[in-house]
């Protein structure tokens, strides 16, 4: 195949992979909003709510990090060129 075509498709795939970064951003914003709302309703459970929210956000962030790793591999470590 043409080397430029392969490089172009790798960069296009990297861009598409980075669309997956929108999901964690939306999810973390929603979790933070719900966490703040829960603390407003029950201030005594702040520690439990915050630790659960932060754990959930860390798990959600892994999706974005995996997408970033895939994009970097497609751009810089592509074995096709």
Query: Does the pLDDT value for residue 81 go beyond 70?
Result: no
- The DSSP output letter for 68 is H
Side-chain-side CA neighbours of residue 52 (13 Å): 11
pLDDT digits 0-9 by tens, 37-76 = 999 999 999 999 889 888 988 888 888 888 889 888 888 8
| Residue 23: pLDDT over 70 | yes
- Provide CB contacts within 8 A for 19, sequence distance 6+: 67
26 is written with which tokens? 């939306």
- Is pTM, for the whole model, over 0.75? no
* Position 27 pLDDT exceeds 80: yes
Q: From the CB of residue 17, how many other CB atoms can be counted at a distance below 10 Å?
A: 19
């Amino acid at each position: 195949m043409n080397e430029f075509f392969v490089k172009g498709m790798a960069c296009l795939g990297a861009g598409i992979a980075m669309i997956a970064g929108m999901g964690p951003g939306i999810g973390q914003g929603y979790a933070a909003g719900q966490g703040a709302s829960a603390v407003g309703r029950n201030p005594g459970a702040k520690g439990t709510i915050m630790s659960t929210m932060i754990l959930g956000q860390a798990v959600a962030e892994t999706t974005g990090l995996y997408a970033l790793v895939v994009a970097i591999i497609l751009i810089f470590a592509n074995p096709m060129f």
